[in-house]
Structure 1
Amino acid sequence: NDIRWAFTSEGVIRKLRGKGIACYTLPEVYEILRREGKTEVLVQSLHIVPGQEFHEKIVMVPAKGLNVKYGLPLLSEDDDFEKLFKALEPRFPPEEEAVTILCAHGNKRRPEFNAPLLKLDSYIRNHRKNTFLATIEGPPGTESAFADARAAGVERVHFVPLMLVAGRHIMEDVMGEGENSWKNQLSPMKATVEEGLGYNDDVIEIYIEHIGKALDQF
């Protein structure tokens, strides 16, 4: 089967094209596939949650003439939460030595799309000490996680990006040198950071399972 890449982030598209790198939106990929005579298409989302971008830039995109099935984002089905926790837990520091904070993007304009993040926060709090989730935008935000981190009585905080790559948000909003970065807000705790989810084979396996379920729909 042919594999094609489509991008939903306008910022990423702009940056790549500015460097002379060919990249396409999903409508553009659909047009290419129609010209090639393709008829069956599986679109696997690499989003973390089925949020605004997934719905508007993938599910709602017209696909005239194509039989399209969709592989769901990482946190879409009930058992995905346990699977993600088990994929990440081996990389967490010992709970008596450090606080672990999962760093999610979130959505402040459409906070209803943060529901899976709230569900994951509840799950990890019920299954592990000193492990919390915080968002850059929308609920649950940072207040609760930071208060619990300060109250934990440990000297280190380990940030785990709930993103495929540890890009600008992690480097600036979380680990940046600005006074409002998460690292500095939790000072004097020593801050460390994990690499993005895309480097975790067990996380990728969840996406592959979603591809398999979508293939079964043809």
Structure 2
Amino acid sequence: TRAKTIDATVKAIEAAHPGVKVVTAYTSHIIIDRVAKNEGIKFPTPEEALDALKAEGYSRVALVSLDVIPGMEYNYDLGVYHNYKDQFKKMTLGTSLMYWQGQEGQADDVTQTIKALATQFPKQGKHDAILIMAHGTPQVSNAYYSVIQAKIDELGYKNVFVYTVEGWPSLETVLPKLKQNGIHHVTLMPMMMVAGDHANNDMAGAEPDSHKSILEAAGYKVDAYIHGIGENAAIQSLYLERANDAWNALEAK
């Protein structure tokens, strides 16, 4: 899964910037430990990566985020940026996949991302729905999911709903909408960089409390699309755009 998502996106960034050192760092210490234990590969934290770059004599660094929304992990990126920016001649920080919302003079990252995500939507009949499972966060940035839903509706995608594992809206929030719209068949898909534990277990697991099982118990036919959005070529292109923005800001006089 990592090879198809994170590594593939990093390779696209490397290909666009030949001759530039590209380092992959993980903000999740749990994932760092898990990968080290299971595969013997030790990914650095952002702090460790920056300490190493400084020791190697690098003086200009573009930090690039592979986060989906500016939530808790992006806050970590921001903290790292503020803690390290004075230790280098110049440092820039890119935005998450969805950041700007199309207010006056801004890009509309949310609409861009929905259109890219829609390239993987199955064909829908009037009784079919797509449920997009996001992570959710206890932070105020959880409000992004309301913006995402509003823009999905504005773009005219029918019976496409966003819900979260650890935030609002939840699956329970969406269930009445399915009933109300006469839905018989649902496709579940994660809106996460990698299809990991949440996608395989919370969303599509065989346990009675998985989203798939809850929907089936409520009488729906359910399919699960278990691929991280990092596998989607259109999404990878957007991540490359975000990386290029950080690089261009670094290069700017």
- Relative to the length of structure 1, the TM-score reads 0.93
Percent sequence identity is 28
The AA in structure 1 aligned to 2:60 is E
- Structure 1's consecutive aligned runs of 4 or more residues displaced over 6 angstroms after TM superposition are none
Summarize the alignment of residues 31-180 of structure 1 with structure 2, pairs less than 5 Å apart. 31-55=51-75, 57-61=76-80, 62-63=83-84, 64-66=86-88, 67-78=90-101, 79-93=108-122, 94-107=124-137, 109-110=138-139, 112-126=140-154, 127-180=156-209
For the 8 Å contact 2:127–2:182, the answer to whether it is kept is no
Summarize the alignment of residues 4-19 of structure 1 with structure 2, pairs less than 5 Å apart. 4-19=23-38
For the 8 Å contact 1:99–1:152, the answer to whether it is kept is no
- Give the unaligned 5+ runs of structure 1: none
1:80 and 1:95, CA in 2 relative to 1: closer, same or farther beyond 3 A?
farther
Aligned residues: 215
Select between 58-67 and 25-34 the one with higher mean Cα deviation.
Answer: 58-67
Inter-partner Cα distance in structure 2 for 1:183 and 1:121: 21
3-state SS of paired residue (1:137): coil
- Give the unaligned 5+ runs of structure 2: 1-19, 102-107
3-state SS of paired residue (1:159): strand
Inter-partner Cα distance in structure 2 for 1:152 and 1:171: 27
- Relative to the length of structure 2, the TM-score reads 0.80
For the 8 Å contact 1:95–1:129, the answer to whether it is kept is no
Inter-partner Cα distance in structure 2 for 1:168 and 1:150: 28
Match of 2:246 in 1: 214
For the 8 Å contact 1:125–1:132, the answer to whether it is kept is no
